[in-house]
Structure 1
Amino acid sequence: TETILAAKSGDDNQLIHETADLWFHTLVMLAHQNIGPEAVLNELQQRFGLSGLVEKASRPSKY
């Protein structure tokens, strides 16, 4: 939420601060789950160049 509010405020320094905070806590959460950041980077690499609709269509069905 803080990152979104910082983006809406137009304060670049605050946005940088909040993004760093978000990334830090995300890395801590991944480490707690024994997931390395490379897993996220691999996921991003797989999505690179795909449109959002193509990526969404490639997801397995939830039902």
Structure 2
Amino acid sequence: MAKPENNIIRGLQQRIGHRFADPAILEQALTHKSFSNESAGQTPHNERLEFLGDAV
């Protein structure tokens, strides 16, 4: 059975007309650190990507 998050990402891709090469990175980019902390750190969060974006 597909995770609900996969259905959300699939729906987003259909709405915007773009297919992401790696949906896991999209999920990470949209996940705030506070949510990751609430889920016992099991969910990757966007802080590393934010730092990378600032460096570029």
TM-score between the two structures when normalised by the length of structure 1: 0.28
Asked which structure has the greater CA Rg, the reply is: 1
Q: What TM-score do you get using the length of structure 2 for normalisation?
A: 0.30
Highest RCO, 1 vs 2 (Cα 8 Å, sep ≥ 6): 2
**Structure with a larger share of its residues in helix:** 1
